[in-house]
């Protein structure tokens, strides 16, 4: 690693913020392992694993509350601990709490639903999140393309990021969704949540995520 500072591209804020402010120095060979890159642990707020409320004690959002749980595993099906999972989805009307959706979606917002949360896998690679089952929404009016209910997942850690979507079983729109149809037919079962016994009165689904390898959970190619 040389001490040369990389050039800054004028008016490029990303280049400016990523360019070292001071000359770089070489880490001694016998001291490299302790400096292995490791993402910082995120600061999680209480209740981020429950998307049905804006905060503990607040009113519950409209729609059917569901629980999604599962395990995050590697290519050898070993549990991956302390992985950050980000979860987001549309509300029961099929509307995202996002500025981009404001100009193209006429469905109403839910004042009690933000639709985004974070959580960490435990020492067995397990996670559990409570949310509202998303509604379907029209993605392209010109071709009458309706997206089926789905929940987005981003798994981050150990130098890996996998973004995928969980679909719901027996949804007629699944077989008409272009993003779902990109997934090879033999792999589609792996992006559909498996119904399990209700938890606390909520419908529940199991969704295991494989990060790498032959059985990797199909990534989101949207």
CATH of the domain at 164: 2.60.130.10
Per-residue pLDDT of the chain (222 residues; tens, 9 = 90+): 444 544 544 555 555 566 667 777 675 665 555 554 455 555 666 668 999 999 888 999 999 999 999 999 999 999 999 999 999 999 999 999 888 887 788 888 999 999 999 999 999 999 999 999 999 999 888 899 999 999 999 999 878 899 999 999 999 999 999 999 999 999 999 999 999 999 989 999 999 999 999 999 999 876
Distance CA 193, CA 175 (A): 15
Domain contains 216: no
pLDDT of residue 17: 61
Is 80 among the domain residues? yes
d(C-alpha 168, C-alpha 149), whole Å: 7
| DSSP letter string, 125-172 | SEEEEEEEPPPPEEEEGGGTEEEPPEEEEEEEETTEEEEEEEE-TT-G
- CA Rg value for the chain: 21
Does residue 4 lie in a domain region? no
Which of these, 144, 143, 135, 148, lies nearest to 109 by C-alpha position?
Answer: 135
pLDDT confidence of residue 101: 81
**Amino acid 41: pLDDT:** 54
Q: Is the separation of the CB atoms in 111 and 75 below 8 Å? A: no
Q: Is residue 8 one of the residues assigned to a domain?
A: no
* 182: number of Cβ within 10 Å: 13
Listing from the earlier edge strand, what are the strands of the sheet with 150-157? 116-120, 84-88, 150-157, 160-167
Assess if residue 13 is contained within a domain.
no
| Structural domain that includes position 129 | 65-210
Please give the pLDDT value at position 1.
45
Closest CA to 135 of 105, 100, 92, 101: 92
Q: Number of folded domains in the chain?
A: 1
What are φ and ψ of residue 180, in 5° steps? -65, -40
Has residue 47 been placed in a domain?
Answer: no
Q: What is the pTM of this model?
A: 0.79
16 lies in a domain?
A: no
List residues with catalytic annotation.
Answer: 96, 137, 147, 150, 152
């Amino acid at each position: 690693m040389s001490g040369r500072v990389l050039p800054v591209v004028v008016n490029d804020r990303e280049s400016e913020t990523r360019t070292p402010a001071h000359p770089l120095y070489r880490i001694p060979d016998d001291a490299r392992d302790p400096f292995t890159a490791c993402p910082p642990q995120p600061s999680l707020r209480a209740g981020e694993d429950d998307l049905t409320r804006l905060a503990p004690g607040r009113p519950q959002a409209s729609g059917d509350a569901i629980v999604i749980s599962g395990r995050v595993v590697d290519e050898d099906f070993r549990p991956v601990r302390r992985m950050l999972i980000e979860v987001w989805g549309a509300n029961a009307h099929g509307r995202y709490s996002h500025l981009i959706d404001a100009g193209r979606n006429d469905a109403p917002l839910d004042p009690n639903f933000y639709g985004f949360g974070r959580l960490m896998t435990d020492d067995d690679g397990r996670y559990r999140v409570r949310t509202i089952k998303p509604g379907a929404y029209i993605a392209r009016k010109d071709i009458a393309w309706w997206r089926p209910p789905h929940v987005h997942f981003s798994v981050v850690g150990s130098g890996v990021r996998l973004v995928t979507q969980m679909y719901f079983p027996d949804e007629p729109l699944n077989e008409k969704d272009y993003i779902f149809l990109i997934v090879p037919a033999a792999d589609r079962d792996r992006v559909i949540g498996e119904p399990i016994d209700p938890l606390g009165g909520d419908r529940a689904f199991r969704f295991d995520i494989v990060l790498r390898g032959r059985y990797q959970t199909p990534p989101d190619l949207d």
